[in-house]
Amino acid sequence: MDAPRGIGTFTVWDYVVFAAVLLVSAAIGIYYALAGDGRGTSKDFLMGGRRMHAVPVALSLTASFMSAVTVLGTPAEVYRFGMVYSLFGLTYLLVVLITAEVFLPVFYKLGITSTYEYLELRFNKYVRLCGTIFYIIQTILYTGIVIYAPALALNQVTGFHLWGAVVSTGVVCTFYCTLGGLKAVIWTDVFQIGIMLAGFVSVIIKAVLIQGGISTILNDAYNGGRLNFWNFDPNPLQRHTFWTIVIGGTFTWTGIYGINQSQVQRFISCKSRAQGKLSLYINLVGLWTILVCALFSGLALYSRYHDCDPWTAKKVSAPDQLMPYLVLDILQDYPGLPGLFVACAYSGTLSTVSSSINALAAVTLEDLVKPHFKSLSERSLSWISQGLSVLFGVLCIGMAALASLMGALLQAALSIFGMVGGPLLGLFTLGILVPFANSTGALTGVLAGFVISFWVGIGAQIYPLLPERSMPLSLETYGCNTTHNGTDWMSTTEVPFSTSAFQGHSAERTPLMDNWYSISYLYFSTIGTLVTLFVGMLISLPTGGRKQNIDHRFLLTKEDVLSNFDIFKKKKHVLSYKSHPIEDGGTDNPAFNHIELNFTDQSGKIDGTRL
């Protein structure tokens, strides 16, 4: 293979395409700010007035879920570890099923803006506060990684200015979130998912043409051991196996999908519960499409560099830079296309960051501002929610600076979601599925869950996995013009995959490091969830959990499950047993707005139901 020709050149056209994507995103925010005549309420700003249709919400769910971490991290993951990552397709199916059938019915019938409102209705305000604070910390941390990571990868390969990229991303997101609210976020997501697909497709088509067909790419992958779909090793210490991905991955992603404010806020903004469920199932197709594109890009990456690995040959300094490197290698004769790919990576970032900012504003307003300032008018609440969008935008840009210490993208992002999302998932599951759980049990359980999952998560960052646990596949450099010993470099290059600040401890490893801290990062969430559930139930029983009288709207009931089959029943039968819950739980969205905008009424209602 010839030496890299002109890698790192980003032409004027590339900058034009990239700038156009940012401008269109900003323009959508301006449009919704000007078009929204009735957008006077904070409810409209944060919830899109609960009039959204299933398809844009589904695309928005997919876009905010698929950040630049997916665009850059997944192909590099396949390149280094093979196709075992494709099992996440099964994980997504399980996650969407659990979210649509367990969490959505309860959140929707209560008509809440912040998922953490549920915690106060079901337990008490201290549990709600605890959930809110952890969510805010988790989201700011994660958003920092999402802004910084693509900026770094693209900067080192394309020469795109690092902090210019970080700040422009943060500013554009904050701008259209602050102006247009949730509607702007959802419609920019729809635009950005189109850009993401266009970027992936252009890379895949060109790679197939250059490599001489799909069969060549698959043959190279097969010969390099990359088609390792099935690994049924039950050992929880192996980084990716069938079990860690399907069990651990389901817990991790349910924490993101089922209870994460950014996602719940979207499917609750649909006009009816059926539309909300539909949006989740349509979004599953979107998730699979993006996953297939990312996986195939990884195989194309391997096929192109199977005899000359740019990472081992020190042409790039981290695996996350492989994808931009490939783009500049194969698309350099097409002005504008490398720019389209950069826009694709950034679209992932923009959609995730904007949904985080909007969700943070919603949670802070509902959970920290409204309970303490009950006399505020709708107009001032609307201004406050816009001010909060600006504040969180600035905080997330600041967090991006710290993200440079976190190591590899995909794993760092999922580790944060696992460590914080696991205990929160346990807390909501306790509320929805365990009728005898009480506030004492919930609070003790969630704190125990946080302690355990942070212990294992931070331990794993300080004492990284041994290479035989993470099972990287071999990378060759015999086809390069420069000669480096490949195996030597592999052993030293495991370092960038974890925080390198604490590498001094690798001299002698204790059993604690080799077992507890070496557990697959996907299990962080599973551990957090199970500890929270177990401790919560254990404490609730002796502290009077069985004696409390719980309103059934706070639990998943038989009616919620059977409601899926309503369409097959005769009309009068549906009316006879569903008439009361519909009125009370409120599937009629205008009723929610009416109740929730009347603050004295709402607070009275909460007190009433809790008593």
Q: Rounded CA gap, 359 and 109, in Å?
A: 20
Q: Rounded CA gap, 320 and 150, in Å?
A: 8
| The amino acid at 246 | V
Instruction: Please report the pLDDT score of residue 278 as a whole number.
Output: 92
Taken in order 72, 78, 79, 81, the sign of the CA dihedral is: positive
Nearest C-alpha neighbor of 73 from the set 156, 139, 150: 150
Instruction: Please report the pLDDT score of residue 81 as a whole number.
Output: 92
Q: Rounded CA gap, 156 and 315, in Å?
A: 10
Nearest C-alpha neighbor of 425 from the set 492, 342, 524: 524
> Who contacts 359 (Cβ-Cβ below 8 Å, separation ≥6)?
139, 260, 261, 262, 265
> Partners of 185 in the beta sheet?
none
Alpha-carbon separation of residue 545 from 123, 535, 537, 575 (angstroms): 11, 13, 9, 34
Q: Rounded CA gap, 126 and 111, in Å?
A: 21
| Residue owning tokens 């990456």 | 301
Measured in degrees and rounded to the nearest 5, phi and psi for residue 300 equal -65, -40
Coil vs helix vs strand at 270:
strand
Q: Report DSSP state, residue 465.
A: P
- Averages of pLDDT over each 10 residues, the chain, 611 residues: 53 86 80 66 68 83 77 90 94 95 91 86 91 88 80 73 79 75 78 84 94 94 91 89 94 88 82 90 93 95 93 85 89 86 77 81 85 83 86 85 64 79 94 92 95 90 77 84 42 33 53 85 93 96 84 87 66 36 35 32 37 35
Coil vs helix vs strand at 52:
strand
Degrees, nearest 5: CA angle 70-74-75: 125
N-term to C-term CA, the chain: 73
Q: Alpha helices, DSSP H only, in 159-225?
A: 162-211, 214-223
